[in-house]
Amino acid sequence: MTIIRGVKTLDYPGKSAFNKFIVFIPALAFTLALIPTIKYNWPLSWDIYYHIHNMKLYSEGILFWDSLTAAPYGRPIFYPPLFHLFLLSIVKILNISPFLAARLIQPFLAFFGVFSFSYISRKFYGNIIGFLTGLFIISSPLFQRMIVPIPESMAVILLPVLVYFYYLAIKKGENKYAIVAGFLWGLVLLTHLLSALIILSVITVTTILLKIKGEKNLKGYWIIIIAGLITSSPWLIPLLIKYGFVFRSPPTQALPLKSYIQLIGPIPFFLALVGLINILWNREKKNIIILSWFISVTFISVIYIFGVNVITERIIYFNLFPVAVLASLSIKALNFEKKKYTLLLLMIMVLSLYNGYVTANSTKPSISASEIQVAEWFKYHGDHERVAVTADYHLDPIIVSISDQPVAAGGYAPGTVKSINGDKYISGKFTKEEMIREKIGYIVLKTNMNPPPYSRLVYTNKDFKIYEGLIK
């Protein structure tokens, strides 16, 4: 019998059956992720086209400089390389296109994401909590982000595992666990910097709270940081020495509380508040970790009130693990008899699978037929030398990833050091000299825009027109 905030919870004899669900729930996530993977011929998300472009650079042995985006100036590759190398290895091993490789990993990212969250939740709190955590993950609209083939989806798989090894380092006072956690943090640094900073904030807040509580075994915190920096140093040190580091934070995109609740999912959100109250009465190390995770991410998601730019929706995603755990704890605290408890679990399972199906079925690629047609025109008819300027920034990474045509933007704007003023070319207010100096060869406009000077129309479709510059 377990006690959470004074409430006795039954440990049913059939509870061991939940061992079988530790793979079953992730397998359901895999199946749900197959829906958009099979339905569409292109990978999900817009970001993946920038990452495919980087992967193609790595395949040519280019590690630190990208001359095809932010053209004609180019820019250092400030994005961590591990996801791109992972994608490249799949392309080479299976001898397939990077676009197909990105599609293929979608259900596997969903499987291992849910598995990681469920398994570590189970290690912390037992079988039922692990089972429920997986269901609440699937039931959340944020489950969609686990499916998309981007570095963040790969990084979040490691976050619960990293935190669990940090927990073992504190609990057992052995450095080997901290070294493993540090190695995992290094891998996250090499995959997705925001994920690395988020989880560092979590273990930092945890360490501070445990220090206040009087915990002695906290040297693992510094071991994690040192081991992580050593692990990431083969990429980080050469980059910093040669180019320094640039990150231009995008403008703040705040969300009201209503949207926060909608993103997490109303049921997990409100159940998590109940679970949060429960663990405040039980200050075990694992509870402090979950509490720190929830507090850290929530604070970062509203840090814009202090003038720091942040995209709230991106941050909220990292609260999915503690919210799912807290929601699960609130269910376990219910003092129901076995039949009623089993019926409740079945209801949660059915509702979660329905919500997961709705999320997966509504997830689709962030690319249109017109955009593909433009990119393929450049693949077969572009000169692959002069710069293409587009009226829609959404087009640039699609063009460069499919055709290798230099583009004025190219995605991942925070990593851009210097770029041309594309607006003057879109509006037609440019000179011949500017066109020559900045090596502009193509201007892609929407169909309702006026044609630019010094150019001729070479292609048109439903949404876009391509003009080739007459000055070379």
Residue 17 pLDDT level (bands cut at 50, 70, 90): low
Angle between helices 320-332 and 338-362 (to 10 degrees): 160
User: Among 6-10, 74-78, 259-263, 319-323, whose mean pLDDT is lowest?
Assistant: 6-10
Mean pLDDT for 298-302 is 88
Q: What is the pLDDT of residue 15?
A: 52
Q: Residue 407's CB: how many other CB atoms inside 10 A?
A: 29
Bond prior to 72 in cis (omega within 30° of 0) = yes
Same domain, 311 and 378: no
Q: What is the pLDDT of residue 223?
A: 96
Q: What is the CA radius of gyration of the chain?
A: 25
Residue 62 falls in which region: left (phi positive, over 0), alpha (psi -120 to 50) or beta: beta
Q: What is the pLDDT of residue 361?
A: 95
Q: In what order do the strands lie in the sheet with 440-446?
A: 387-390, 440-446, 464-469, 455-460
Q: What is the pLDDT of residue 416?
A: 80
Helix (H), strand (E) at residue 139: helix 127-139
At 120-177, the pLDDT tens digits run: 999 999 888 999 999 999 999 999 999 999 999 999 999 999 999 999 999 998 899 9
Mean pLDDT for 289-308 is 88
Same domain, 257 and 314: yes
Report the Cα 332 to chain-centroid distance in Å.
30
Residue 65 lies in a domain: no
Residue 21 pLDDT level (bands cut at 50, 70, 90): low
Same domain, 34 and 144: yes
Helix (H), strand (E) at residue 345: helix 338-362
Mean pLDDT for 280-286 is 84
At 372-416, the pLDDT tens digits run: 999 999 999 999 999 999 999 899 999 999 999 999 998 877 778
Q: Is residue 374 within 8 Å of residue 459, measured between CB atoms?
A: yes
Residue 290 lies in a domain: yes
Same domain, 357 and 237: yes
Closest CA to 118 of 157, 175, 62: 157
- Residues of the chain with pLDDT > 70, as a percent, come to 94
Residue 312 pLDDT level (bands cut at 50, 70, 90): confident
Same domain, 335 and 442: no
CA distances (Å), 322 to each of 29, 54, 318, in order? 19, 33, 8
Same domain, 32 and 156: yes
Residue 71 lies in a domain: no
CA distances (Å), 468 to each of 247, 255, 382, 398, 447, in order? 33, 41, 9, 19, 15
Q: What is the pLDDT of residue 345?
A: 84
Domain boundary among 362, 381, 407: 362
Same domain, 354 and 437: no
Residue 46 lies in a domain: no
Q: What is the pLDDT of residue 3?
A: 40
Q: Is the pLDDT of residue 8 over 50?
A: no
Domain boundary among 362, 383, 405: 362
Q: Is the pLDDT of residue 341 over 80?
A: no
Residue 61 lies in a domain: no
Same domain, 158 and 219: yes
Domain containing residue 391:
369-469
User: 283 in helix, strand or coil?
Assistant: coil
Mean pLDDT for 238-242 is 91
Which of 430 and 472 is assigned the larger pLDDT? 430
Instruction: Write down the pTM of the prediction.
Output: 0.91
Q: What is the pLDDT of residue 13?
A: 38
Mean pLDDT for 327-342 is 80
Max CA distance (Å), the chain: 81
CA distances (Å), 430 to each of 358, 416, 419, 420, in order? 48, 22, 16, 12
Q: What is the pLDDT of residue 140?
A: 92
Same domain, 355 and 384: no
Same domain, 347 and 413: no
Residues 6+ apart with CB under 8 A from 431: none
Helix (H), strand (E) at residue 234: helix 220-243
Q: What is the pLDDT of residue 7?
A: 36
Same domain, 342 and 446: no
Q: Is residue 449 within 8 Å of residue 462, measured between CB atoms?
A: no
Domain boundary among 312, 332, 362: 362
Phi, psi values for residue 241, rounded to 5°: -65, -40
Which of 3 and 319 is assigned the larger pLDDT? 319
Residues 6+ apart with CB under 8 A from 413: 248, 250, 393
Q: What is the pLDDT of residue 255?
A: 74
Closest CA to 198 of 311, 360, 82: 311
Q: Is residue 347 within 8 Å of residue 368, measured between CB atoms?
A: no
Which of 93 and 276 is assigned the larger pLDDT? 93
- For the chain, the domain total comes to 2
At 179-211, the pLDDT tens digits run: 999 999 999 999 999 999 999 999 999 999 999
